[in-house]
Amino acid sequence: MTRRFLGAPVPPGILDGVLSSALRAPSAGFTQGVDLLVLTDADRRRRFWELSSAPDWRETPGAGALLAAPVIVVPLTDPSSYSSRYAEPDKAGTRLGGIPAGDWEVPYPIVDAAFATMLVLLAAEDAGLGALFFQLHGDKETVLEGLGVPTGHDTIGAVALGYRAGAQPTSSPRPRRRRAAEVIHHEHW
């Protein structure tokens, strides 16, 4: 994850390629209920940071390099689109048919937003960009309303995109990565 960005804009062709990768993400019932709000305008990005972070954090020495990211992507999901999709005849007989998406055991709108976000992160890396997924630190409803997102939509956070600036800071000593033999369980646990 990149925490220090150059302010240089990302060329539209590169950005479009990174963003379009999200269109290939798995989607429960092929609902396609994920949208991306992309902020490249300096005033819109400034408004995003005002809504989603505390003023004292924005004034810390390390914040400026993150605030310099020329692109902010907010993955959005519309849970009602999932409820509607699973009310259609081809899905009505499934375990999710007729149940509001908010009551599903697995929150597929959030899962789908995470899939789309992961593809954006991977495509950014492939394009030579830095990326950082982070949670919103402001009230989510206030942030989304302030950005003009229609009521009823939800988000899992945001992604900062841009070219990396120098060495990247680490937030803390990193534990060792688990080995494959510790994670992958063939045939039994």
Sign of CA dihedral 130, 70, 147, 151: negative
- In a structure prediction context, what are the per-residue pLDDT tens digits for the chain, which is 189 residues long? 899 999 999 999 999 999 999 999 999 999 999 999 999 999 999 999 999 999 999 999 889 999 999 999 999 999 999 999 999 999 989 999 989 999 999 999 999 999 999 999 999 999 999 999 999 998 999 999 999 999 999 999 999 999 999 865 566 677 888 999 999 999 989
Architecture of domain 12-183: 3-Layer(aba) Sandwich (3.40)
What pLDDT was estimated at residue 167? 67
In which region does residue 37 sit, left (phi positive, over 0), alpha (psi from -120 to 50) or beta (all else)? beta
* Predicted local confidence at residue 166, as pLDDT: 81
- In the chain, where are the structural domains located? 12-183
Residues 105/67, Cβ–Cβ less than 8 Å: no
- pTM for this entry: 0.91
Give CA separation, 100 vs 84, 111, 162, in Å: 9, 16, 38
